[in-house]
Amino acid sequence: MIAEAAQHAEVAVHGMEWTVKELFTYPNEFIYWTIQIVMYPFLTGLVAGAFVLSSLYHVFGQDDLKDIAKFSLLFSFALLLVAPMPLLFHLQQPQRNWEVMLTPHFTSAIAAFGMVFSVYMAIVASEIWFVYRKFFVERVNELKNKEGLGNAILKLIYTILTLGVFDVSERALHKDERAVKMLAGIGIPVACFLHGYAGFIFGSVKANALWMTPLMPVIFIMSAIVSGIALCLLTYIVIMEWQKFQITRHGRRSWHMSADEVKGAEIDMVRKVSKYLIGFLVAAITLELLDLIFRGYTAVKSWDILRSVIYGKDFFNIFVLQYSIGNLVPFVLLLLPGLTVKRTVLATLLVLFGVFMMRWNVVIGGQAFSLTFAGYMHYHLPIIPHDAETFKEGLFGALLMGGLPFVFFWIFNKIIPSLKYK
């Protein structure tokens, strides 16, 4: 009998593993959106932020950002490829993901997100093509006379990357520049739209008292830019330090500057970028506080339970980890005169942590209270996985997502050396 088969099948209720319920909750309520859904807006935010940073140079001619711009563009692409993966990991039927593209139901923010995401991917990929097109052609010409299977494969890759365009005349390169500028210009609103949509996914859920606010998309965009700039800055410092280390240790000539020159260029860049970081950080915090003040002042029906979550159950996560350690401390660190590289590293790490905690407090915090407004749910992050589910939706699944962009970036850099190429 079918019914009996279903009854005797192993009862694996999604969410039961990591949800502890307290007081009066509906029977079907569990924490369904877990750490992967925290990773998803976090990564999307990094993409948008990295792209905006590169566009500041390409569009607004912020020449001080020239070096970091090329690197952050490629890094943005690496992040972009990983950004939808947490969602994919989280799906109960991941093999059906293509339906989002083939039967999109556009009244859903997630379906629209798929389209915006693809457009954005196309823009970033095209921009990279225009920026590095000359380099591809040069490489093909270099590899023409070289023997060996490795070189043949490389040549094939670069030939494909040229898309069959070998024209590197002044006129053509000028066209490239104009195209880059245009794409970067279109890219900024699309990047904001992309991440605004991630905010919209949450902000438009009217059933969730914590999520539903029209400020959500704007808050998400601001914190996205903050985290994107912080990550680019941090990665930039790490790579520069690595170059310095190699130059001093091995005297390697992979970099065409001396260690001191690298150091000088590095701290110069760090100071410039950190100014942008502070600006966006102030905007992000202002919006978040505005949201909090409005909720408290208007105190609608849901405020009693929200207050007990914000000022009670999640106080440590919100006010200590997010606002104090994640926002206030790095703000002071960056603002104090005589900014050093070490201090910037600490500050950017804290900023990234702060933005991650902001995502956490929205996604997990929004499920910390019951729809009954008379009960709570506690999330216990699975650390040691014992099945696919606890891996996917646990600490290691999240770490995998966090590490993948760096792996992709490393691979891309084998083909497109975004740090060396001038």
Contacting positions for other proteins (CB under 8 A):
1-3, 6-7, 9, 11-16, 23-24, 26-30, 32-33, 87, 90-94, 96-111, 114, 122, 125-126, 129-130, 163-165, 167, 172, 175-176, 178-179, 201, 204-208, 301, 370-374
Burial status of residue 87 (CB atoms within 10 A of its CB: 0-12, 13-18, 19 or more): buried
Q: Which is nearer to other proteins, 40 or 276 (CB)?
A: 40
Our CB check for other proteins shows the closer of 31 and 352 to be 31
Q: Which is nearer to other proteins, 167 or 387 (CB)?
A: 167
Smallest distance from other proteins to CB 202, Å: 9
Burial of 96 (0-12, 13-18, 19+ CB in 10 A): exposed
The C-alpha atoms of residue 42 and residue 382 are separated, in whole angstroms, by: 19
Closest CA to 317 of 251, 263, 373, 364: 364
Shortest spacing between CB 96 and other proteins, in angstroms = 5
Nearer to other proteins, 79 or 100 (CB): 100
Question: Which residue's CB is nearer to other proteins, number 29 or number 64?
Answer: 29
The distance of closest approach from Cβ of residue 126 to other proteins in the complex, given in angstroms and rounded to an integer, is 4
SS3 255: coil
Name the residue nearer to other proteins (CB basis): 151 or 204.
204
Q: How far out from the chain centre does Cα 103 lie?
A: 27
How far is Cα 409 from Cα 417, in angstroms, rounded to an integer? 10
∠ CA 334-338-340, rounded to 5° = 70
Q: Which is nearer to other proteins, 33 or 276 (CB)?
A: 33
| One-letter amino acid for residue 254 of the chain | S
**Distance separating alpha carbons of residues 294 and 287, to the nearest angstrom:** 11
Which residues have a Cβ under 8 Å from the Cβ of 230 and sit 6 or more positions away?
A: 49, 277, 348, 351, 352, 355
Least Å from the CB of residue 115 to other proteins: 11
CB of 222: closest distance to other proteins in angstroms? Answer: 23
- Residue among 56 and 210 whose Cβ is closer to other proteins: 210
In the complex, minimum distance from the CB of residue 286 to other proteins, in angstroms, rounded to a whole number: 28
Q: Is the dihedral of CA 308, 322, 284, 225 positive or negative?
A: negative
Residue 271 in tokens: 């100071």
Which alpha helices (H) appear in 91-169, and where do they start and end?
99-102, 109-143, 149-161
The smaller minimum CB distance to other proteins, of residues 27 and 338, is found at 27
Paired tokens of 65? 């950002």
Q: Answer for the pair 298, 213: CB distance below 8 angstroms, yes or no.
A: no
Min dist CB 11 to other proteins, Å, is 5
Q: In this structure, what token pair is assigned to residue 260?
A: 């001191």
Euclidean distance between CA atoms 281 and 219, whole angstroms: 11
What is the sign, positive or negative, of the torsion defined by CA atoms of 403, 409, 412, 414? negative
SS3 (DSSP) at 316: helix
Tokens 């909090």 found at: 292
- At residue 364's C-alpha, the angle toward residues 360 and 370, to 5°, is 155
User: Smaller CB distance to other proteins: residue 101 or 293?
Assistant: 101
- Give the nearest distance from C-beta 12 to other proteins in angstroms: 5
Q: How far is the CB of 246 from other proteins (least distance, A)?
A: 35
Amino acid sitting at position 130: F
Smallest separation, CB 212 to other proteins (Å) = 10
